[in-house]
Amino acid sequence: MSEPILAPEEIEALMAEVAPSEQAEAMFASLPPMPQPEQVEQYNFDSTDEDSPERYPMFVNLQERLVEMLDEQWDEVFGRDISVQMDKLESSIYKELITVDHPQVYFVLEVDDIGRMMITFDTAMIVAYVDAMLGGDGESSGNPEVLSPVEMRLSERIAEKIAQTLCTLWQPVHPLDFKVLKIDHDPQFLAMAGAMEKCFSTYFDIKLNPELTCQMGVHYPHSFLEPMLEILRVAVSDEPTSADNEWSDSLMNQISKTSANVCFEMGRCQIDIGAFLSLKPGEFLPLTTRASDPCSIWVENIPMFEARAGEKDGALAAEILDPITNGGQS
């Protein structure tokens, strides 16, 4: 049988809150015995961070887009297919990000008037990247702890390229000018954020070859993202919105019953007022339209069709030839 739910001292404390000890003991003595459950499961209160990255669809979309951009860039650098996949999104504490048990390289980037953010790489990833930059196979042997002076120098180019990528990534959402502030393999003096500040972290798995998979992390302090949070809440969907066919059919039905004034224009001419007032029965107006030229049909004040005058069932009729393009009007 498991331990009692309440310890004796806890029961005593509760009883003291109910009434004075003698009265409380008398009350509980009058109650039937309460058997302890045979099995009590440990209950863990929900510790899910309400303000997690998943609550911001635009932020998630940016991370997915970053996968595509890095995959394309690194395929070109390494000269082969480099698999980049997003592993997880989570809310982290900055202190936890810099207390890891494996060697990492830390890139701290800064945006004026916004703040700092950080990108972390397994050291092996940077070693392999530098090797590819220098014309090698882009491999990393062993488990390097730190970067050599040459690798540290060239890692500045890697950081600058990533900064440019992030500028492009964020441009449609909120223009940010990322600048490289610091590169180090010792996180103790990065000063990216306060020790207990919450960060939105995205982790990417990078498969360099069948034997070597490294990890990259992109970490934004909450204070960095705060000016953009409302924008990042916007839902992103590639799915086309469903049309309300019933509504559109009803609209078209009502429009089809609406009357319109239609005019068949045979031609036009321009004469002065005096000549017009002197017209007599039997005289002709000097129209510019020839008998073989098409005329136009107007709906309200818009020319809609070219037409030819004709006869149908003994009445004057207009034979429609072609629609008239009205520069976007319809």
Distance CA 232, CA 59 (A): 5
Same domain, 308 and 168: no
Same domain, 285 and 318: yes
Predicted local distance difference test score (pLDDT) of residue 45 = 57
Same domain, 68 and 15: no
Predicted local distance difference test score (pLDDT) of residue 330 = 44
pLDDT (tens place) for every residue of the chain, 330 residues total: 456 677 777 777 777 776 676 776 777 677 777 777 777 777 665 554 467 898 899 999 999 999 999 999 999 999 999 999 999 999 999 999 988 888 999 999 999 999 999 999 999 999 999 999 998 888 877 778 889 999 999 999 999 999 999 999 999 999 999 999 999 988 888 989 999 999 999 999 999 888 889 999 999 999 999 999 999 988 765 455 455 566 677 777 777 877 888 888 877 788 888 888 888 888 887 777 777 788 888 887 788 888 888 888 888 888 888 888 755 444
Same domain, 282 and 190: no
Distance CA 27, CA 83 (A): 70
Same domain, 39 and 154: no
Predicted local distance difference test score (pLDDT) of residue 326 = 59
Same domain, 217 and 268: no
What is the signed CA dihedral for 62, 65, 66, 69, rounded to 10 degrees? Answer: -150
Residue 134, judged by CB atoms within 10 A of its CB (0-12, 13-18, 19+), counts as: exposed
DSSP 37: P
Same domain, 125 and 217: yes
* Residue 240 forms part of a structural domain: no
**Overall domain count for the chain:** 3
Predicted local distance difference test score (pLDDT) of residue 141 = 75
Same domain, 149 and 20: no
Same domain, 106 and 163: yes
* Residue 244 forms part of a structural domain: no
Same domain, 192 and 60: yes
Same domain, 148 and 61: yes
Predicted local distance difference test score (pLDDT) of residue 329 = 46
Distances (CA, A) of 279 to 40, 262, 274: 110, 28, 9
Domain assignment of residue 29, given as a range: 1-43
* Residue 71 forms part of a structural domain: yes
Angle at the Cα of 200 (from 197 to 201), degrees rounded to 5? 115
* Residue 247 forms part of a structural domain: no
Q: Show which of 216, 232, 248 is a domain's final residue.
A: 232
Predicted local distance difference test score (pLDDT) of residue 44 = 62
Predicted local distance difference test score (pLDDT) of residue 328 = 44
Residue 268, judged by CB atoms within 10 A of its CB (0-12, 13-18, 19+), counts as: exposed
Tokens 């409380």 belong to 24
Task: Check which CATH number belongs to the domain holding 319 and give it.
Answer: 2.30.330.10
Same domain, 173 and 287: no
Cβ neighbours around 56 below 10 Å, total: 23
